[in-house]
Amino acid sequence: VAIVGTDGRAYKAYIPGDNHHVDIFESPDRKWRGEGVSVFHANQPKHKTKWQTDFPAARLIMRIHKGDAVKLAVAGRETVMRVYRLEPSNNRIRLAPHDEGGNLDIRHKTPNDKDPFRWLIASYATLKKARARKVSVDVTGRVRDPGPPK
């Protein structure tokens, strides 16, 4: 990311850093889309996401950060999962059940007969079909669920 001086010329540059969050929004054509925001851009005082300009009639469904809890239908059952990886360049997020632990990358590569764990790699369209929504879990384990998006 180039930093421009008063004369209009770039005088330094920063690496934008990791993904801070992904905004998942519904465009006027009713498709769920997403836009990743880097840590650098998230910390800019007047930062406005591109989707707000490109789709002024779009509606924000949820803003997802790493570590957030999401409730969605998996194999016909409502399940709470944790966001482990944001992959906006591939239009997807990587999820795992909230009660799974350890090194999940190694567990995913382990054969099914030894460890059945597998990532749920969900595109934004998959999240819409699964009626995904961001939920919060308090210290006593209660899930605060706003209900499926309308």
Model confidence pLDDT, tens digit, residues 15-36: 777 999 999 999 999 999 999 9
Q: How far is CA 128 from the centre of its chain?
A: 13
**pLDDT at residue 49 greater than cutoff 80:** yes
Per-residue model confidence (pLDDT) at position 11: 86
State the average pLDDT for the chain: 93
Summarize the confidence of residues 77-84 as an average pLDDT: 96
The pLDDT-based confidence of 43 (bands split at 50, 70, 90) is confident
Task: Say whether pLDDT at 147 is over 80.
Answer: yes
Return the structure tokens found at 59: 């509606």
Rounded CA-CA distance 76/74 in Å is: 5
Please report the pLDDT score of residue 4 as a whole number: 86
Model confidence pLDDT, tens digit, residues 82-140 = 999 999 999 999 999 999 999 999 999 999 999 999 999 999 999 999 999 999 999 99
Mean pLDDT of 53-82: 95
d(CA 73, CA 108): 21
The yes-or-no verdict on residue 3 having pLDDT over 90 is: no
pLDDT of residue 98: 93
Q: How confident is the model at residue 1 (pLDDT cuts 50, 70, 90)?
A: confident
